[in-house]
Structure 1
């Protein structure tokens, strides 16, 4: 697994060397000692987290954070500063920083905070709406929405789960029992009848899509075919 990329901005040469040396054991660190140059790096490259000193030449940490937030509202930002004033902490957090460490700080604490915010960021990214393309339709599973240029249809939770199961296994035969146990938790008669109703409704929605169809596989189950 590739290391997470950290943009580390610090103009104190000794502190920067010591901090980067420790961080590089766990992360890929791109260091800059100049605010304007650091922001240019952010615009040109991909990063997973930013660690920003506040007092910097050309562009201070608050200015960098302001510009970063105009472009990316999610990337974690940690401020490092010798300033202990409450107003500075509040200003940093209001600008969208996730945390604020006062110098001299513990390297162990910094690493721990980076790991915490990277984990949170990863969880957020995992919640991004999953979108599938189905002929002319776009399917947003988390929102239960199936839409194209002319209409938008809101599915029930069970219908959305059924369609997702088909899409995750497109062009593959799904046994009826597997579908029922996956979505209903059992394969009894009433669940089976419900499944038939949901499949009929999805087929009706997709009937205008010539390259998409749900086929019956006699005595076995169904198959979503996408040509």
Structure 2
């Protein structure tokens, strides 16, 4: 039975979501602000975190930073009234896996929770960093190493996107496929967020001109190695 840590400062909404999740078989830990949410997380790490962004005492973004310092793998789903691209990108940079704009339906929230839980990896097989030209990509540790000793720390979303590109290297990765896999849908708004992350990955890989992320017009991207 999956455990959800729900962090929501609107008491009425929090209780509705908690009751709805429990009726569908989830175990729910409920916190009314980020500080309480972090305390509950440290006491008993859940299978997934569902957190509001705008909260007193500690907001959802700060909570995500603390959680990521302790656990790089637990999914974090933000509930937010914010819809600006910069806010959503910041959430992904801080380790968020998905977001849901308020107001939302419980059915959609549950679908998104189940989608994130289904992506949790099994115990990983022991393997070293993945070769990428002059780079080595350590996906579990979210690090990109250059052969001169430099290292780049990747955000959770950057690492997931680079892994998708790496798995399909030298082949076309459909834009709609990666949006649905990592963002949950292929809306225009999510597409703008994807463009930002592609630009950042290109910047990280700029020291090896043989490694390129190409735009395949109207289709998607191709990682050339």
How far apart, in 2, do the equivalents of 1:51 and 1:62 lie? 12
Could you tell me how far 1:53 is from its partner in structure 2?
0.2
Matches within 5 A, 1:1-227: 3-25=1-23, 26-121=25-120, 124=121, 126-129=122-125
Q: Could you list the runs of 5+ residues in structure 1 that have no partner in the other structure?
A: 130-141, 144-227
Could you tell me how far 1:128 is from its partner in structure 2?
2.3
- Partner of 2:119: helix, strand, or coil? helix
Could you tell me how far 1:65 is from its partner in structure 2?
0.2
User: Higher Cα Rg: structure 1 or 2?
Assistant: 1
- Partner of 1:56: helix, strand, or coil? coil
Could you tell me how far 1:57 is from its partner in structure 2?
1.3
Deviations 1:19-53 (A, max 9, x none): 11111122100000011111011111121000010
How far apart, in 1, do the equivalents of 2:43 and 2:85 lie? 33
Q: CA RMSD in A?
A: 1.5
How far apart, in 2, do the equivalents of 1:11 and 1:100 lie? 17
Q: Could you list the runs of 5+ residues in structure 2 that have no partner in the other structure?
A: 128-225
How far apart, in 1, do the equivalents of 2:37 and 2:10 lie? 14
Could you tell me how far 1:10 is from its partner in structure 2?
0.3
Could you tell me how far 1:87 is from its partner in structure 2?
1.1
State how many pairs are aligned: 127
Aligned residue in 2 for 1:160: none
Q: Choose between structure 1 and 2 for higher RCO, CA contacts under 8 A separated by at least 6 residues.
A: 2
Please, what TM-score do these two structures have when normalized by structure 2?
Answer: 0.54
How far apart, in 2, do the equivalents of 1:18 and 1:37 lie? 19
Could you tell me how far 1:92 is from its partner in structure 2?
0.4
Could you tell me how far 1:127 is from its partner in structure 2?
3.8
